[in-house]
Structures are given as structure tokens and as C-alpha cells.
Structure 1
Amino acid sequence: MDATTTTRTTVREATLDLLRELGMTTVFGNPGSTELPFLDRWPSDFHYVLGLQEASVLGMADGYARATRRCAFVNLHSAAGVGHALGNLFTAYRNAAPLVVTAGQQTRSLLPNLPFLGASDAAQFPKPYVKFSIEPARAEDVPAAIAQAHRIAMQRPYGPTFVSIPSDDWSAPCQPVVPRAWFPDASPDPAALSEAVRAITAARRPVLVVGPEVDAEGAGPALVALAERIGAPVLTSPFSSRLSFPEDHPLFAGHLPASPQSVSDALIAHDLVLVIGAPVFTFHVPGDCALFRSGIPIIQMTTDAEAASSAPAGTAILGSLHLGLPALAALLPPASRALPAPRPRPSPPAASTPVTAPYALHRLHAAMPQDAILVEEAPSHRPAMHAQMPIREWGGFFTMASGGLGYALPAAVGVALANPGRRVACLIGDGSFMYSPQALWTAVQEKLPLAVIVMNNSGYGAMRSFSRVLQVRDAPGIELPGIDFVSIARGMGCAARTAATPAELDAALTEAMAAKGPMLVEVSLDNGAVASLYDKH
């Protein structure tokens, strides 16, 4: 061979090497013809996680990324496949889940003729729910575009990015791409922290409202130390998608609802509101938030410039929480305030047949191993979950920041993949389960220790609750009779059983928590009244 000859590197080879360097060797996908050139001769050091529908693929990658705090790689099929995934792509954007989402595109030579499987304006399709979107102008630009997408996905606030790749690009020659060193965290302005210290020191009745950014940054211990330094009660922000504060801590004061009036009622007695890692505030129903007109200082610490700029009142301090919280604590004098009284815990609910949701959740909490992770999508039962299932461990709880259903089951698969050998419990409503049931098949194939608890109240319970809030009667499309969840699970190779009595429930939960692979438990519930999502709890 001539000494001047160099080894030819293809786009595919350069991309695989880049993914190795970036630690993205787990690929979540659902393949089609436009993706086959990427999948050709699949390397043995990569793990391809197959989802049977693109919404499940996106949800699994989201759960994996949030649980690992690393970017996940997704490979979807052309325009229709991206369309299937859009619901969970929206959720990933709201969850601030770092993803590089790629999709196949028809060959470049065919694109001018509106070909079969061709995506028109492919980079525009997933907007605005991606941070960055591109179809590279040249085949040789594909690896660099993926590298850029990764950096942007991992810039706080995290989020999904998108790269459309024509199928003939993978065999084109290109130069290797060396990942750029990346240190995206920025400390808050010291002057802003000094102003916060003055406000906190002057306050007699401060309160903390904390949100999902804390756990996402691994800043939980720093937050606890700050709250103890201040000596103030701590509330979880509305619709927080992760554990925001240990719910057995003496300073924990409960969960704020997504109602303006209820938020105002909960906070207006305080003379300083310190919001950490959350918007100010997430609402779901209209109403008057008198807090915003009260003149009570609101200080928000966040990594999210959009959340900071959208707040109607207060002062924003932008910057990394895992850098900013210890810096703020170090500037504060020890608290001289009397600590608030510990929050009373509810009594265990009584057993009954059929079982009630609070009782079922109480028994689920007792059955779960100490280090188990809970992934939840049972919105009508969330007040009962908060009451009966206090979350204690950072990284121990995930739900969705959006309202899009079909997230939790695939997300639980991704969370389980991110935590090998650790028990994951997916608490899900019967209506929610039917949005992405295909994810159960992936859990079976991957032999994951996943317990799926389906709360069957034969309908969309959240819609029943919301109908009461809006005083809507006789709305159609809310009841869901006749679904056999046990048969659905068994049809995909998953062990399953139903539980309608307290004894059956305990036996089924014990079996599910000890199963070597996934198991589904269908809990037949008393279809009675549920607590409102919009009252403080």
C-alpha cells in the first residue's frame, strides 16, 4: 500500500466512533428501510433497544436519560415514525430530558420528486419541541451535526435535539469527529446571591418552593443543607416531575397544586418565597394568584432562562444549582428561626373490598424494596400517592412534566435499563396504560425487574375530577369498560394477575416485587370519589 494512502472513513463509521466517545452506545429505536444503512453489521459493543412503536421508543429514551443524567440516542423512522413519537417528544421537552433524536430520510437524489418515505422540511417537523433541529446540507456533515446536537441537548436546561439523515449519507466518506471538551455549567452571579442573602436574612417567615431541576442536577443534598440553614418549610412545586425534597424530612410541608388561588393561599402568609429549580408557577386551571400583587418578594433560582423570563413577578437568578446552592448556603448565617412543626402523616387507610386507591397505594408502598424506583402516570390518584407513598431517595421518582399520556410505561423501561438489577415500579392508570402498552414487550425481552401496577377504575379518573372542577356533566368518552389488562400482558409474554381484595393485592404485590422479569398487577378499584388535583395536599 502506498504510504500516502489513508483509510477511508464513512459517515456511519465516524458516527459510531463518536457515539462511543460520547458514551451513547445504547440506542433506542424502531427500524425502517431508511435506517437500515445505519444498522448494517450492528457492532457488538452497542445495545439496540427495540420499541414496537415510536412513542414507546421516545419514552424509553427519556426515562433512560433522566435516570442516568446522560444524553440518550434515539433512531426513528422517517416522517411517519417521527409523527408517532411527537407526543412523547413534547413530554421529553417539558421533562428537560437530554436526547439526540435521529430519523431516517429518503435518499438525497429522490428528495426533489416527493418520494415515498420522504420527509418534507424534515428539520421543521419536530419544532418547537426540540432545542436544535437540522438536516445537514452535505452527507459528510452528519457526524458533526450529531456532535453539535449532543452538546446542545446537554446544555442546561437539558432537552431533545433532532437530526434528519438521508439514508445514502451513511456510506459517504467523511473526516472523523473528535468530541469537544464541554463544561456547560455556569455559576450564578455573586452579586445576585448577595442580594438573595440579604432578603433571606431579613425575612421572618420564608418558605422554599422546590422543583425537578434539583434532582436533575444531582443537587439534592445541597438543597437539604440550604433548607436546614435557612430553617424554612419546603413545598414541592406544582406538577414536579421528580423528587424535589425528601418527603420524610421534618421541613417538608407538602405539594403545591396547579391552581393559582390555591398556590396563593399556601404562600401568601410568608414574607419571602424562594423558588429553586422550578417555574413560578405551573398552573392548569385559571384563577387569581394574589401572591403576584402582594409585594411579597419572590426569588427564583433556575437553570432555565425561559422559565425565568416567563415569571410574572420576582427576581430571577440564573445558573447551575449544584454550584449555586452551596454558594448561597455558605453566605448565609445559621438560622435563628423556630423550625416549623413536622407535617402530620395520614393514618393508614382501612381495608375494603373492592380496595380503594389510598389503600392500594399504602400496600404498594409497604411492598416496594427500600431502594425501588417509582415511575408514575396515574394523575387522578396523585393526591393519594402523595399521602400514602412518601418519596425519600434522590433519583427515586419520575413522572411527566407535561400532560401527555403514554409516558410512564416506556419511561419505566428506560429507568430500569439505567439501573440494572434495581426494582422499578410503574404506577399507572388504566387509561394511561393503553397509550403505550407496547413497551411491556420490550421489558419482557430485556428481562427487566419491572412491576407494573395498573390502577383500574374503568375510566379516565383525571377527567372525572377535572369535570367536577369545571362543573361539566355527562361528558362522553370518559368511561373505559371491558379492558382485560392481564390478557394484554400475557399476550406479550409478561406474567400478570389481577387483585380485587386486600389479600389478593398483598399476594400479587409480593410476587411482582420478587419476580425475575416484569410482572403486571391489575388492581380492581372502588370507583368512588377521588381527591381533587387542584387542592393543596
Structure 2
Amino acid sequence: MRTGGKILIDQLVGEGCRAIFTVPGESFIAALDALFDESAIRTVVCRHEGGAAMMAEATGKLTGEPGVAFVTRAPGATNAASGVYVAHHDATPMVLLVGLVERAHEGRGAFQEIDLQAMFGSVANWVGVARESERIPELVARAFQAARSGRRGPAVLGLPEDVLSATASVEGAAPLQVPAPTPSAAQMTKLKAKLSAAERPLVLLGGGGWSAEAARDIGKFAAAFDLPVAATFRRQDHLDNRHPCYVGHAGIDMDPKLAAAIRGADVLVVVGEGLGDIPTAGYTLVSAPKPAQFLVHAHPSAAEIGRVYRADLPIVTGGEAFAKALSRLKPPAKTRWSRLRRDLRASYERLLKPIPSAGRVRLEEVISTLSRQLPDDAIVTNGAGNYAGFLHRYYQYKGWPTQLAPTSGSMGYGLPAAIAAKLMYPGRPVIVLAGDGCLLMTGQELATAVQYGLPIVIIVANNAMYGTIRMHQEQRYPGRVVATTLVNPDFVAFARSFGAAAARVESTEAFEPALQRALAAKGPALIELRIDPEAISARRTLTQIRGKSP
């Protein structure tokens, strides 16, 4: 006989769970008690359920296996929704466990009661409630299967308090097998024939379910065919950016030459990406629903293929399996697109040369320094904001996994993601780049980093405003500034109050020494960059956006 809490934890161990990110709640005390004796799972105590969920999501990105967060009833579940949405949008495997009110109180509007299906039904791969202790193993296995299957994503399992405290005799359930779809020989033959006849082919890499092996296989295929390969929004680590076939980032503020190449491609091979509005510039580079390009769409979910675009060659396959199949293709004797590849690569390399921005601290030089100084295996995380445009443009990702960033555009992601990354890869440098508004969305998780002695480096670009919204505001309503100005804390004092090291940088020249000191710190270290508000984006100043450029 075991308590439901013990049954739950034992099943999580069987599923391969090695860490649970949590803010404790009385609704799952029995499960917390079971964790007391379980050495296979590390319990990471967080300061906000949104941070815990983002840590679980980042774990899923890094491992390809579901990260796990455990939160309490309605306040905990609703707080965690921000991380669940990231997992949904980014196709990341994740399991959210939610303690619920006792079964006898269900449906009566009891204290902190919540309907999980109504709350998460539109953003989760699966939502369930374990109403009998005996069914916990079955439903945990089902949650993990749902998180791993097809278009990966979050699964949510509710656990009533009395189900966790009750005892039962039940065997654990074996993890459910998830079929791994692979491309057929006929599909690969057709793809090779279309490429051999092409003049302007282009490959777009994106989506989840990637691996270092897949990145190597894609690199081998691209080199053999001399094909231009671009990464979609915040998936830049899918191919070493130094690879001669890597031609840039099909994200926000895309290189116009890359955008033209996507629009003008005669064969467009999309790998793992749902192909939404960002890599298509608002569905203008690839016409919906019938593209002008011959569209090869390789994706693990049949439901995703054809949802927006009618593919000429739809292939239901995982990214790893497709990359392996591509690496085995023999290139044609003659290609007609080598000049296109060279021109796109040269354009990408020109973009790496910093455009001087306003102010004494130039963010483009900061990012270029990071790209030069950090080792190839460093992991760089970020949330959302205009500051990230500098990172996407000037940083070169050298391998997978080295980029953790939300394609959902969720603020506050960088710090929780960095904590998860450092717990998983303690020997690798982990750097957070955040804006001032972005950092304070989850800034309390600095306490979590200090509690676990995690030497992460947090770089906060402080321009005292919500920069992205200010930019759009100035574009549409010049000079009419409202709701975008921020009064910030002293970030150095803020970090030190948690027990972290901290320094303020007020000139570009001071950044590199500050970075070296931060990397050498034994715990978390924060570097505050004082950024001129004029340096609103990697291309234009605030004055230029207002149309008053001298």
C-alpha cells in the first residue's frame, strides 16, 4: 500500500523525471512528503509558479523529454499558465501537475477550485484529472505520452488532495511508447528530384524536437548540396551559424535579402516549423493557402501540415529522422544555386558588422563581445523585448543546444530558463540577456538561483521603458508617450540584496572586464547596462522612427 503521493512520485521516476520545479501548496502535501525520500528527483523550490513553469519548459527544450512543474490549485495554476503557453507555442514537451480541492468539494465553488479543462484546454495537448489513486500511474503515463507525441507540447494533470493522501495498492505503469514517424523512400526520392531541378532552393529550420545529431546531419546535407539554410524565429542554434551554408535568421527584422530569397524560392523545404507569420513576414513571403514556391513541409504532426499552407510534398516526420534521411541523399552532379548561397551568406556576414547605436554603452558591441568571448557550448537565454533584436542579429550560435528563447514572445523567460539550463549543464556558461521590463517579470527567481548556488550571468539592458511598445507607439503616434515609461530599482542593489554579485556598466569599454568577473563568480552575477533610450533597435533610433532624423 502506498499513498497517492508516493504512487505519483514513483511513476514520475519511471517516466525519467529528474527534477520538479515547484511552489509548494497544501493541496499536494502528500506528494511533497513522498519527495522527501526520493533521491532520483531533485526538488527545485521556486518563487512564482510562472517561473517554475518556464523552468520546466526550458528543461523540455533542452532534453526533448517533458519538464515537470508542480503547482497548487487556482492561484498556482493560473500563475503557471504563462509557462504552459510558452510550451504550447514553442512545441515543447512539458507536464504540469496541479493539486486540486478534495473530490467531495468538487463543483461547489470551493476555496481555490478551478476547472482545468476550461483553463488549459486550448493550450494543452491533453488535460486530465486523477480521481482515483489507483489510476495515477495510468494517467501520468498518458500525460507524458501526450506531451511527447506529434506536435509536442504541455499536458496538464490535476490531482485532488484526498487522492494524493489516500492509500492504494497498484503497480506502476510502463511509459507509453511514442511512434517516431520517418520519411518514406518515395518521399525522399521525390524531394531529391525537385532539388536537382531547382534553381533557387532554400531550407528553413525551426520547431522543437531537435538534437545535436540532427544539427550535424543538416550541416552535412547542406554542405553536400551547397544549399542555403536559414533558421526561423529563435531557432538559430539548429545549425552552427559559422557553417558556410547558414544564411541568417528568418525572424523579426529579417535581412531583406533573405526575405527576398524566401519569396523567390522555387523549392522551399521547411523542417519542423509550423510556418507562421514571423518567418513569412505576416504571410507575405509565402502566400496562403497555396504558396508560389514548391513547398516541402516536414513536421511531426499531420495536423500541422496543411493547417495554413497546402504543401506540395507533405512529410510527417520528426526533425531528427528527417535530418538523418537528408544526410544520406547524394547531391546532383551540377547545382544552379551556388551563387545564391554565396550571396546570402555574404549578406548574413555583413549584418554581423555592428551598426553604431546611440549612447556610451553600445549593445551591438556588447553582443559581439559575448559572441567572441563565450565558449562554443555557452547557453544564452532571453525573454522578449527590442533588446533581443541585437542578440538575434549579432550573436553567432555555435551548436545545439545553446539558445533558449520563447517563440511565443513571452517576457520574463530568460532568468527561469537560465536556472533550468544551469541545473542541467552545471559545467557550461549560462548567460541571460534581459531588458529592464523583461527581467522584473520574473526577477524574484534570482532568489532561486542564489538558493541553489547557480553561477549564471544576468545582463540587463536598462533603458527605463518598455522598448518594443515604445517603438510601435512612436511609429504610429509620434511623441504621444503613454504607459511605456518605467521607474526601475537600482539593479545592482537589487541583485546584491539577494546575495548575488553585481556591477553597473556605463561605457562599452567597461563591459568585457565586468563580464570576465561575472563569469568567474561562484554564484549568480548581474551586470546592469545603462542603455540610451535612443538606441531603441538594432537598425533605427527613436528619433529616426519619429521621422525626425537629421
Query: TM-score, normalised on structure 2?
Result: 0.88
Query: Greater relative contact order: 1 or 2 (C-alpha under 8 angstroms, separation 6 or more)?
Result: 1
Residue 163, structure 1, aligned to residue 162, structure 2:
no
Work out the CA distance in 1 between the residues paired with 2:439 and 2:29: 31
The secondary structure found in structure 2 opposite 1:213 is coil
The alpha carbon displacement at 1:396 in A equals: 0.9
Matches within 5 A, 1:173-184: 173-180=168-175, 182-184=177-179
Change (3 A) 1:144 1:393: same
1:35 alignment counterpart: 28
Q: In structure 1, which of residues 253, 261, 270 is the aligned counterpart of residue 247 of structure 2?
A: 253
Other-structure match for 1:333? 331
CA contact (8 A) 2:209 2:318 kept: no
In the TM superposition, what whole-angstrom CA distance separates every residue of 1:1-57 from its partner, at most 9, and x where no partner exists?
xxxxxxx23322222222222221311100111111211251240311011110010
Aligned-partner Cα distance in 2 for 1:109–1:202: 67
The counterpart of 2:90, out of the listed 91, 95, 109, is 95
C-alpha distance in 1, partners of 2:436/2:401?
25
Distance in structure 1 (CA, Å) of the matches to 2:142 and 2:212: 21
Instruction: Give 1:123 deviation, angstroms.
Output: 3.2
Q: Tell me the residue number matched to 1:15.
A: 8
The alignment partner of 2:117 has SS state of: helix
TM superposition shift of 1:436:
0.6
- Give runs of aligned pairs for residues 251-330 of structure 1, distance below 5 A: 251-258=245-252, 265-283=260-278, 286=282, 288-289=284-285, 291=287, 295-315=292-312, 316-330=314-328
1:313 Cα offset (Å): 3.9
Where does 1:11-160 land on structure 2 (aligned, <5 Å)? 11-40=4-33, 42-45=36-39, 46-119=41-114, 121-160=115-154
Q: Which moved more, 1:363-372 or 1:101-110?
A: 363-372
Distance in 2, matches of 1:353 and 1:73, equals 43
User: How far is 1:381 from its partner?
Assistant: 2.8
CA contact (8 A) 2:250 2:278 kept: no
Range with bigger deviation, 14-23 or 74-83: 14-23
Question: 2:149, 2:282 → 1: CA distance?
Answer: 33
Deviation, 1:353, is 5.6
Q: RMSD between aligned alpha carbons?
A: 2.6
1:478 is matched with which residue?
484
CA distance in structure 2 between the partners assigned to 1:438 and 1:404 by the alignment: 17
Q: 1:114–1:530: structure 2 CA closer, same or farther, 3 Å change rule? A: closer
* Secondary structure of 1:526's aligned partner: coil
1:230 and 2:225 aligned: yes
- Structure 1 residue matching 2:181: 3-state secondary structure: coil
On the 8 A contact 2:210/2:319 being kept in 1, the answer is no
| Residue 468 of structure 1, CA deviation | 5.0
Q: CA deviation at 1:494?
A: 1.4
1:510 equivalent to 2:510? Answer: no
Q: Distance in 2 between matches of 1:430 and 1:48?
A: 29
Closer, same or farther: CA 214–199 of 1 in aligned 2, 3 Å: farther
Q: Please report how far the alpha carbon of residue 214 of structure 1 lies from its aligned counterpart in structure 2 after TM superposition.
A: 6.3
Post-superposition offset of 1:357: 1.4
Shift of 1:533: 8.7
Query: Would you say the 8 A contact 1:37–1:168 is kept in 2?
Result: no
Map 1:379-394 → 2, pairs under 5 A: 379-394=385-400
Report if aligned partners of 2:379, 2:401 keep a CA contact under 8 Å in 1. yes
The alignment partner of 1:40 has SS state of helix
* TM superposition shift of 1:473: 5.2
Q: 2:451 aligns with which of 445, 452, 474?
A: 445
Unaligned runs of 5+ in 2: 541-550
Equivalent position SS for 1:438:
helix
Change (3 A) 1:291 1:473: farther
Q: CA deviation at 1:244?
A: 2.5
Instruction: Report the AA paired with residue 376 of structure 1.
Output: N
Runs of 4+ in 1 over 4 A off after TM superposition: 258-264, 284-287, 290-294, 348-353, 468-473
Please report how far the alpha carbon of residue 150 of structure 1 lies from its aligned counterpart in structure 2 after TM superposition.
Answer: 1.0
Distance in 2, Cα, partners of 1:301 & 1:319: 6
CA positional deviation for 1:200? 0.9
2:61, 2:208 within 8 Å by CA — same for their partners in 1?
no
1:336 aligned counterpart, secondary structure: coil
Aligned pair in 2 of structure 1 residues 217, 159: CA closer, same or farther (>3 Å)? farther
Secondary structure in 2 matching 1:360? helix
Cα distance per residue 1:333-392 (max 9 Å; x no partner): 346223532423443566986212112212233342332111122531333223321111
Is the alpha carbon distance of 1:460 and 1:126 closer, same or farther for their aligned partners in structure 2, counting shifts above 3 Å?
Answer: same
Tell me which moved more, 464-473 or 23-32.
Answer: 464-473
After superposition, residues 328-477 of structure 1 pair within 5 angstroms as 328-334=326-332, 336-337=334-335, 338=338, 340-341=341-342, 342-343=345-346, 344-345=349-350, 346-347=352-353, 354-467=360-473, 470=476, 474-477=480-483
User: SS in structure 1 opposite 2:238?
Assistant: coil
Change (3 A) 1:470 1:532: farther
Deviations 1:449-488 (A, max 9, x none): 2000001111122223333555665241112133322222
Please list the CA deviations of residues 408-428 of structure 1 after superposition, one character each: whole Å capped at 9, or x if unmatched: 111111111111222100111
- Secondary structure of the corresponding residue to residue 188 of structure 2: helix
Q: Report if aligned partners of 2:267, 2:294 keep a CA contact under 8 Å in 1.
A: yes
Identity of aligned residues (%): 24
- SS for the counterpart of 1:415 is helix
TM-score (norm 1): 0.90
**Which SS does the other structure have where 1:273 is aligned?**
strand
Structure 1 gaps of 5+ residues are: 1-7
More deviation, 276-285/478-487 = 276-285
CA–CA distance in 2 between the matches of 1:132 and 1:288? Answer: 33
SS at the partner of 1:454? strand
Contact conserved, 1:212 with 1:242, CA < 8 A, in 2? no
Q: CA deviation at 1:499?
A: 0.7
Supply the distance in 2 between the matched residues of 1:114 and 1:307 (Cα, whole angstroms).
Answer: 37
Closer, same or farther: CA 452–66 of 1 in aligned 2, 3 Å: same
Distance in 2 between the 1:164 and 1:403 partners?
27
Of 346-355 and 79-88, more deviation after overlay is shown by 346-355
